[in-house]
Amino acid sequence: MAEFTLELNDDQKQVRDWLNGFAKDVIRPAAAEWDEREETPWPVIQEAAKVGIYSLDFYAQQFFDPTGLGIPMALEELFWGDAGIALSIVGTGLAAVGVLANGTEEQIGTWIPQMYGDVDDVKVAAFCSSEPDAGSDVGAMRTRAVYDEAKDEWVLNGTKTWATNGGIAGVHVVVAVVDPELGSKGHASFIVPPQTPGLSQGQKFKKHGIRASHTAEVVLEDARVPGHCLLGGKEKLDERLARAHERAKAGGERVKNAAMATFEASRPAVGAMAVGTARAAYEVALDYATTRSQFGRPIIDNQGIAFQLADMRTQIDAARLLVWRASWMAATGKPFTSAEGSMSKLYASETAKKVTAQAIQILGGNGFTREYPVERMHRDAAIYTIFEGTSEIQRLVIARTLSGMPIR
């Protein structure tokens, strides 16, 4: 009989402990400073590069972990350190996933190394999909890519928003409309190389949380990119568009677009980030409840506090299991027949918001101050229910998948 286990193997435990040490010794001491500065923590990213965490090799090793647990385990530990700094370290990964999901082997080998740079000259990359009028509604996207056959170039025009590393990145991965008649099926992804004329940073956002992560608009004004920067290549794109037109005429099956392919691959990863933040807040609250005394006894001696902590830990563990299940399914090629990826992100992100709020309540007035990290964790946790598909969108995806109905 096959053995079933949820225990990490020795290699995974070693990596987990290594990441936890980096998060404890490097990320956490810097968290409050970079949150206040609202700037990209380049020194911390460079430290991560020096030890091998911020590198293509490290993420490749975790991505190809046959159990699927390498990436969620790594993300949980880094975000346990601090969400804003961790997002600055891993934000390039979303652009890399965009290339992995849609690019050719040559494009993967050419562009992903450039996204990271090297220890002496670290770089970041940006994935640009959302627009001012097209967030969850990807069908409303307006950024256009028009092919100039004479020069074998694509000309991009439009404005992207909420782009992590937008404008400061070397490599930008941009999703644009190539066939407006097909709506979301007429999208494609493009590499915009470093220093491409016509690409500029627009507004940099001052955010409620994850302040150490740079978020900005990316403006494209007649930005020309070589034909080989179309992810997947033009022949593959033309074939896909032709099939989409045929299916549209016949009222046939849906075709996934480039942006959604990237988001589906990353949703369990966002769930792992949320688990890390929730776990960090829970641990602060547990330590506080066992050391803080009121009326002559530790406050955890009161059921009102103890039961909250019991619920917090239970919800965190349940969220982690959902994330691990979805990650294992993705790694082993099992389809998300019940939208398990969306389930993991939905539950974990909602858990992070709830647990961080409860941590503030347990700490009372202290929890409301910046002398304790839980208020920052609560601000950071809010993003998990918003980016890469809001909680409402996750529920919609789950409901549609379960029912087979076009629920709106």
* Active-site annotation, residues: 388
Q: Give the three-state DSSP class for 375.
A: helix
Is 323 in contact with 272 (CB distance < 8 Å)?
yes
Cα separation, 293 vs 290, whole angstroms: 8
Alpha-carbon distance values, 185 to 139, 277, 366 (Å): 8, 35, 50
Burial of 1 (0-12, 13-18, 19+ CB in 10 A): exposed
Backbone angles phi, psi at 177, to 5 degrees: -85, 125
Q: What's the CA gap between 171 and 125, in Å, rounded?
A: 5
Q: Is 254 left (phi over 0), alpha (psi -120 to 50) or beta?
A: beta
User: Please, are residues 367 and 374 in contact by the beta-carbon 8 Å criterion?
Assistant: yes
> DSSP for 60-75?
HHHHT-TTS-HHHHHH
Residue type, 294: Q
Task: In whole angstroms, give the CA distance from residue 78 to residue 267.
Answer: 17
**Do 126 and 172 form a contact (C-beta atoms < 8 A)?**
yes
Helical (H) or strand (E) element with 40: none
Which is it for the CA torsion 373, 162, 97, 116, positive or negative?
negative
